[in-house]
Structure 1
């Protein structure tokens, strides 16, 4: 039976980068607390108690909600760790202590669609402040047109741009990939940005700083902190780029249909939030292109034209 100090590095080396980013901090904390102990020593009560400690000692963030997210992520990290222990035959599923630790009840999201006036204020601040307003404006425009998650932008590469059909390939959480329409104007600016700042490698990152470094998640943190300094309501409500996703998807659902909004958001049929009707009620690329055309007021090459109706 391995100790936590022996087993955690093996699991960390075997999981995906996304999983390691989500759970690595909690695994490190477990090693600090129980490094010399065997996997089968802590019981459900002790594992749950450590989660309460992590919740109580969490870093207080501007968008924090009492620490329930930290505790939930810790429990998920422990379940992931012990699942590997079960898979490798160190313990049986019946003796898995993490499976008997309850997650805290997830609170309803406080995110909602932003009013047009608020969205305009945000884009104006991004375009007129900071050390790289061109980059920040392009990022916000990209999220506003695609409603993608932050990872969709950070993972974007030059080879993910289909300039002829005005499509971008989004690679987001869970290893999902999908093609999403963008306006011809945004496509031109994406190509120009990469031509001016990119390193010439079409498989490398698309978004770059002026000083030839690829953009990371920290740019988003700095961007929203700066916007919050100019717009106090942004800081108070903890507005982030994910609110843009809520805004766009809400507009798509209200203006078009639920099926179209679901496809525009990139939600899979297996997410479990709808019935089997979702298998048949799907939106194709031409319908998503029509959304972009309506959203931007600009014709899209894949959108149906009047003569096609």
Structure 2
């Protein structure tokens, strides 16, 4: 019958309700970005399934919850028919049930979230921008708003390093290696790396930290008041640019487009291996063993940066 003695002795505590267990799981999320993504869907679960025990929902009910998240997602040019919301709902449920398995509240075979598929991702609409458009964006940032120095520093930081928003927000004064013109980035998936920057950007980051009172261990990027910036600074910046440049608003251009722009240029001029290292992308098992042997080193990334900015870099490999 497929029943083992261990199964007969497997006496588990009563499963908690969603209202009881979600706060426990919420407290275990290490990444604030992940918490923001999952919390939207956990709040929906607390509202709609709060009194139900976590083992009660069926595969069909979870499928319905996924589809409801997709249908109710905010619609703009970048949502791609709510697929991201549906994917995040399933990810939030899988995270919750994975912890329930680890806590001994359900058996792995009783996990309904693993049997509901995530929607297939649609191709991104983001692309690299031409130099003329980058110049227009920079002009607006430098001539509008209440803190042009901060906004132009943000644009240069992302354009030079191709870092993600989380990497910039996580930057601290002690992450700056002035002598080697390197900054230490911490990005999604808990991946970290030293990234070359130009002497000009390094000088601007150091000046910004001193002027706005960022101490070691503190967030580096700050308002005039000394208060650390948040993701809202980016939202306000691109809303303001969109009011001046209609094509920015129509295409829903954001800071991540600068990452596409820089990495496309690096790949075209220095090859895939250097672009991968520049982006901080991890090697995939599906790529086979070759990337292990052709991995680009930091001196090659520094050379790409030096060519991009037109400034010498102390680590650039001269060929």
Using the size of structure 1 for normalisation, the TM-score is 0.96
Given the alignment of the two structures, is residue 175 of structure 1 paired with residue 190 of structure 2, yes or no? Answer: yes
| Higher alpha-carbon deviation: 49-58 or 96-105 | 49-58
Given the alignment of the two structures, is residue 300 of structure 1 paired with residue 313 of structure 2, yes or no? Answer: yes
Larger radius of gyration: 2
Given the alignment of the two structures, is residue 198 of structure 1 paired with residue 198 of structure 2, yes or no? Answer: no
Separation (CA, whole Å) in 2 of partners of 1:44 and 1:237: 37
In the alignment of these two chains, the number of paired residues is: 304
Question: Conserved in 1, the CA contact under 8 Å of 2:196 and 2:305?
Answer: yes
| Higher alpha-carbon deviation: 49-58 or 93-102 | 49-58
Using the size of structure 2 for normalisation, the TM-score is 0.93
Q: 2:91 aligns with which of 50, 63, 76?
A: 76
Shift, 1:66, TM fit: 1.4
Match in the other structure for 2:151:
136
1:164 match: secondary structure: coil
Given the alignment of the two structures, is residue 211 of structure 1 paired with residue 225 of structure 2, yes or no? Answer: yes
Shift, 1:92, TM fit: 1.2
Q: 1:249 aligns with which of 263, 266, 275?
A: 263
Match in the other structure for 1:45:
60
Separation (CA, whole Å) in 2 of partners of 1:64 and 1:121: 26
1:270-289 matches, within 5 Å, as: 271-272=284-285, 274-289=287-302
Structure 2: stretches of 5+ with no match in the other structure: 1-14
- Two-structure CA RMSD over aligned residues (Å): 1.2
Q: Deviations over 1:22-52 (max 9, x none)?
A: 2111111101100110111110110110121
Given the alignment of the two structures, is residue 232 of structure 1 paired with residue 246 of structure 2, yes or no? Answer: yes
Question: Conserved in 1, the CA contact under 8 Å of 2:164 and 2:187?
Answer: yes
Question: Conserved in 2, the CA contact under 8 Å of 1:198 and 1:207?
Answer: no
Match in the other structure for 1:264:
278
1:110 match: secondary structure: coil
Given the alignment of the two structures, is residue 159 of structure 1 paired with residue 184 of structure 2, yes or no? Answer: no
Q: 1:217 to 1:273 in 2, by over 3 A?
A: farther
1:14 match: secondary structure: coil
Question: Conserved in 1, the CA contact under 8 Å of 2:167 and 2:186?
Answer: yes
Question: Conserved in 1, the CA contact under 8 Å of 2:78 and 2:125?
Answer: no
Q: Deviations over 1:175-207 (max 9, x none)?
A: 1110000000110011011111124x2110111
Structure 1: stretches of 5+ with no match in the other structure: none
Structure 1 stretches of 4+ moved >3 Å = none
